[in-house]
Structure 1
Amino acid sequence: MKLCITGGGTGGHLMIAEALVAEAVSRGHEAIFIGSTKGQDRKYFEFNSQFSHVYFLQTTGVVNQKGLGKLKALWKVFLAFLKARALLKKHKVQAVYSVGGFSAAPASFASLSRFTPLFIHEQNAVTGRLNALLKPYAKSFISAYEDDSKIKGYPIKEIFYKSAHKRQNLKTIIFLGGSHGAKAINDLALSVALELDSRGIAIIHQAGEADYERVRDEYEKLGLRIELYGFTKELPELITKADLAVSRAGASTLWELTANGCPAFYIPYPYAAGDHQYHNAKFIVDNEMGWCEREGEQLKSKFLDILESDLEQKSTKLLSYSSKDVAEKMIKDVEESIK
C-alpha cells in the first residue's frame, strides 16, 4: 500500500504522524509526508524519518487571519492543493491520512478531488475547523473522545505503555512547563516548593528554556535543590518516576500521562484555539481520571487539596481506559478499507 500522511504544525499532530508512519513501514507499506514550511513539520521529518519522501508546501493558517491576510492564506492553500494533487498522482497514493492542523488542508482536499480515500485522526476534544469540514467525506474519523469513533485512542510511543504502573503513594511530583515554559505552572511549582519539601515530596520540574534561569534562581533563593530542566528528551523516563503531574492539557501530553497511569492536575493554556485544552482536560475530569483548574487565584489551594486525594483510584482508571496499539488499529483500518 502507498500511503500519504499529512498535517502538522504542532507536536501534537506530528507525533501522530510519527506513530502512523512507523506502523505503516513495519507492515511493509510505503508512506510519503506532505506538510508545511511553517510550524514544526520540517523539524520532525526533514531528516531521518521513515517516510520515503517528504514535502513541505508553502501554507499558513487561515482561521487566524483577517481581511487580505485571509485571502492570501487561501491562495497559498489553493496553490499547495495543486502541488499536493500532483504528488498524490506521482506516488500513486492509495489513501491519505490527515492528522489535522492547517498543513493538512492541501493534501486532504487533493485526496477528495482524486477520489482517494481520506482518513482523519482528531487529537482534541473540540474538533478543529478543517477536520469538522472534512469529516463527512472521510472513510474513518478517529477520536479518543467520541463515543461513535470505531477506534478510540491516541497513538502513543510504546515506552509509555511499557513503563506504565499504578501510582499509590505520593513521593514525586513532576511539573511540566513545556518546551517554552508555562509561567502559571512554573509559578505554582515555586509557590508550593517549600510545602512539598516539608512533606518529603520530591520535585521534578521542566521549566522550559525561556523561563529556566528565572525558575532556577528562585529555587536557589528558597534553598532547594530539585531536579530542574529547561528542555529534555528524557520526559518518558521522568514521567515514569512521578506519582502526580502538573501540566497543560495538550493532547499528546495528556494521553502520554494517561497511557503511563500518571494522574495529573491540568492547567489548560487559556488561549488555545476553541479552548480545546480545557475541553481535553474536562474529558479526563468527567471520567474521574484527573483534575483541572483554569489559571487564577485558586490554583494553589486546589493543588494542595489534590495532595490529599486517592491517587490509586485515579491511576487505576487511567490504566483501564488507555488503549494500546492505536496506530496499528488505524493502519489496519486503512488496509481493510482499500482492499
Structure 2
Amino acid sequence: MSKNNVIIITGGGSWGHHYIVKEIKEHLSDHRVVYVGSKDSDQEIFENDPDFFRTYFFDTHEEHDDNIFEQFKSYYSYWSYKQECKKIIEELEPKVVFSVGGYSAKPMAFAAKAKNIPLVIYEQNALSERINEELRPYATLFLSPYLSDSPISTYPVKSEYFTKQRIRSDIKCVFFLGSIKGASPIADLALSLAKDFKARGIKIIQQTGEEHLEEIRAKYEKIGVEAKLFGYKDKISSYMNEADLAVARAGSSTIWELSANGLPAIYIPYPGAWDNHQFFNAKFLADQKLGWLMREEAIDKQEVLSILDKNLTTISTKLISRIEPNGAQKIASLLKEFCERS
C-alpha cells in the first residue's frame, strides 16, 4: 500500500461514535487507516484493533461550560494535542480526515483544517453535536442521514437489519428495546401493559440486562404472563424480525436499525442524553408520521393501547424507503475518492 492511501478517522466518546467507526473501517482494508481518539473512552475499544495501521490516544475530556478552571484546562489540552495532531499529519500525509464527532475529534479535526487536509464530518443525530457545528464551516463535506442535501444521506446500519426486513401490518408482537436495567421506564411500561397484551393475544419480547433476566422473568410469572426475554448482548436483529411494533429509546443506531428493518416504533427518548438529542431523533421520524414520540415523564399507557389497533403497512413501507442499505460501504467509497485524486 502506498503512502497516498492514508485515511485518518477521529472522534468517539460514546457507543454511537464507536459503532460508526467499526462499520466504516471494515470497508477500508485496502487503505492504511489511522485512528485518533481519547484515552478515557476510545483506547480500550480500538488500541489493539488490527484493522488500524496506527492508533493515537490523547487525554481529552468533555468540556465543562460551568467551571472556568476546567474550561482553561480543556482549552490548554486541546491546544497541545492539536500540535501533536499536526505532527501526525506531517508524518503520515493523509489524504482525508474523517470525523465521527465527539470531544475526542476536536484536536485532529482542527489540525486538519490548519494543515489544509480535507475534512469529512459525519453527524449521526438530528441535533448536531456542538463540535460538529463548530467545525461544519470548515468541512469539505458534511454528511447526515437527516439532511436531504447531504452527499450521502444514510446511516451505516449492519446488513442483517436489511436482510431480516419485512413490512408490518397488524400488531401481534411488541418488542420492548433498551430496558437493560431491571427497573426502567420501558421495563415498567412493558409490565404494566402485559395483562392487556395477553387479553388481546399480543406477544411480548423484552430486552433486559443479563443480570436482571431472572428478576424480570419472575415478575411476569407472578402476573401470569409469558414473555420472551433476552440479554443485552444477544443478536437484536433476530428478535426484531419477530415483532410488529417496538418501544425503544431514540439513539441514532436504534432508530435507523428499526427503520432498516421496517419496524415502526414508539420512541421514549432518554432524557439524560446530551442536549436531549434523542428527543430530536425521535421527533424527526414522528414529524413525518413514521413513528410515535412519547416523553419519559409523560408515558401514556392508554395511548400505547390505542396504537395497537392501527394498521402499520404504510408506516413500515415508508420506513424501509427512508434508509438505503450499504451505508458504510458508500461512506468508505467516498473517503477512498480523496486518495484517488492524488
TM-score normalised by L of structure 1 = 0.92
* Cα distance in 1 between the residues matched to 2:127 and 2:182: 24
CA distances 1:28-63 after superposition (whole Å, capped 9, x unpaired): 222111111123x23432334522222221110014
Please give the secondary structure, in 2, of the residue aligned with 1:155: coil
- Report what 2:129 is aligned to: 128
Q: 1:24 aligns with which of 25, 28, 34?
A: 28
| 2:45 is equivalent to residue 44 of structure 1 | yes
| 1:263–1:181 distance in 2 versus 1, CA, 3 Å | farther
Please give the secondary structure, in 2, of the residue aligned with 1:133: helix
* Cα distance in 1 between the residues matched to 2:293 and 2:304: 10
TM-score normalised by L of structure 2 = 0.91
* Cα distance in 1 between the residues matched to 2:321 and 2:121: 25
- Report what 1:218 is aligned to: 219
| 1:67–1:182 distance in 2 versus 1, CA, 3 Å | farther
* Cα distance in 1 between the residues matched to 2:214 and 2:67: 37
Does the CA contact (< 8 Å) of 2:6 and 2:32 recur in 1? yes
TM-superposed CA distance for 1:225, in Å, is: 3.2
Please give the secondary structure, in 1, of the residue aligned with 2:201: coil
| 2:96 is equivalent to residue 95 of structure 1 | yes
Does the CA contact (< 8 Å) of 2:179 and 2:187 recur in 1? no
Unaligned runs of 5+ in 1: none
User: What is the identity, as a one-letter code, of the residue corresponding to 1:152?
Assistant: S
- Superposition pairs for residues 64-79 of structure 1, below 5 Å? 66-79=67-80
- Report what 1:13 is aligned to: 17
| 1:194–1:150 distance in 2 versus 1, CA, 3 Å | same
Aligned residue-pair number: 336
Identity %: 38
| 2:315 is equivalent to residue 314 of structure 1 | yes
| 1:48–1:331 distance in 2 versus 1, CA, 3 Å | closer
- Report what 1:169 is aligned to: 170
Please give the secondary structure, in 2, of the residue aligned with 1:23: coil
* RMSD of aligned alpha carbons: 2.0
* Cα distance in 2 between the residues matched to 1:83 and 1:233: 40
Please give the secondary structure, in 1, of the residue aligned with 2:26: helix
TM-superposed CA distance for 1:322, in Å, is: 1.3
| 1:210–1:132 distance in 2 versus 1, CA, 3 Å | farther
| 1:220–1:64 distance in 2 versus 1, CA, 3 Å | farther
Does the CA contact (< 8 Å) of 2:127 and 2:280 recur in 1? yes
User: What is the identity, as a one-letter code, of the residue corresponding to 2:177?
Assistant: L
TM-superposed CA distance for 1:77, in Å, is: 2.2
User: What is the identity, as a one-letter code, of the residue corresponding to 1:31?
Assistant: V
User: What is the identity, as a one-letter code, of the residue corresponding to 1:293?
Assistant: M
Please give the secondary structure, in 2, of the residue aligned with 1:100: coil
- Superposition pairs for residues 79-118 of structure 1, below 5 Å? 79-118=80-119
- Between stretches 79-88 and 130-139, larger displacement belongs to 79-88
